[in-house]
A and B are shown apart, each in its own frame.
Chain A
Amino acid sequence: MDETRTGSAPASVDELQQALRGELYVADRALAMSVYLALTLKRPLFLEGEAGVGKTEVAKVLASALGARLIRLQCYEGLDVSQAVYEWNYSRQLLHIRLLEASGNVDKAAAERELFSEEFLIKRPLLQALDGSEGPVVLLIDELDRADEEFEGYLLEMLSDFQITIPEVGTYTADEPPVVVITSNRTREIHDALKRRCLYYWIDYPDLDKETQIVRSKVPQASQKLAGQVAAFVQELRGTELYKVPGVAETLDWTAALVSLNETELSPDVIDDTLGIMLKYREDVQAVRGEQMRALLNRAMHRGTQRGGRRG
């Protein structure tokens, strides 16, 4: 393999997994493998999964593990070149025109060249990401499924050779292609042509052990007991029919809330009061509150103690 990698890139999957762990991110070995391959093959990594399973977090954590600059592009419908790639700084251009006028000598061609030079260019995330002069870059293209097909088409072009052409100025090419992480909540299918250029990984909800670990590392104030119970309850909750299943982000929010309420273990009353942190639809809250919640809690406690016993 070529040896031109940046100094901080991990040399093996284990090392990468360790590095992620050091940033408080609990990654499966399979996920670590995908990230590792994305780094060594220099290909974009396409992460899909339900909301709140930690897709965005991967990019953030990766950036800090690599000591790289994180550049984030949040997608939305109608995202266009002026928001994603570049825009001209109109007010400065206008000002400049006035200055030229005042100085009296207007050479048409020269003025135009000057007006559309890099000096008046506002670089947006995609263009910024090509500039590796300030060290390595992790480019996060977040929630691509929110953008429309037109943008996807543009992205396809940019990701294939990491260069962007601005008609007035010229072509920008990345000396060192950025590490690209694309996430999607799968509210629509992303076009195959784009996915084919990427390494693909589906992030699932974590299992009980992993979620407990995540809670423990992210909310260290929570006791082992509380963390275990919370994780077990959330696991049970995910098994019920909900319009919106709580993600890891919700688990963490909930744990933090419980900690700040000085709760050391789960009880029906506490859950009833704080259910809104987990469930974001009124129908869901109503369905779970009361009887079903008690049943879930029972099962969760049972599971939690079983687990604890085995471990102890």
Chain B
Amino acid sequence: MAHKTINIKLRVWRQKDAKSKGGFENYELENISVDSSFLEMIDVLNEKLVSENKEPVAYDHDCREGICGMCSLFINGRAHGPDSLVTTCQLHMRKFSDGETITIEPWRVGSFPIIKDLMVDRTAYEKIMQAGGFVSVSTGGVPDANSVTIPKADADEAMDAAACIGCGACVATCKNSSAMLFVAAKVSQLALLPQGKVEASRRAKNMVAKMDELGFGNCSNTGACEMECPKGISLAHIARLNREFLAANIRG
């Protein structure tokens, strides 16, 4: 079978560390297989850089099958690049054309400071989770079937919200750097189920307070987060978060 390859030009953000001033570096790669993933393409670049005794490009990655949420990258102006419902590790080079210049930037969010090159520190998400993204009581082992009844629609919606992998694409693509879709997914996932409902008010209040404190922006309902989310988390969850938050404040 003929193996299709392309030649590409890269414009990659390089930054020595959090405090240094960064800038774009240009690279050229030849004979990149269209079947390789975007991260494999960067691996090829890094091997080339290492062989030339240059510093390889630092970037985040882990599972390379779209479930860990580690890979980030703002590619040609889009979070996770020019494909829908995928993380960068699932993005393939066939989405690019021969001779194309590809701009690669890190997530640019005040609350996600750059560690090095394309790596950002997403500890802010962990802090939001620590503020309320959990169920406090031990709910024991797996309950017997049908002993805790949950309507199918609620279970489905909680599962949809639970698909969030915390990659940060929503914040990265949001023109306001708002973390609302992330917080909404975490709040929804628990508020819809009986185990999580008990703490729903406190959770919504604490997670929103932490999100605000960490410097994320205000949601203006553009919907970009939903479109760029690799897991297709719906804006409807943000409406639920708003409801939960309002109700929590009315109850006091």
Q: Do A and B come from one complex?
A: no
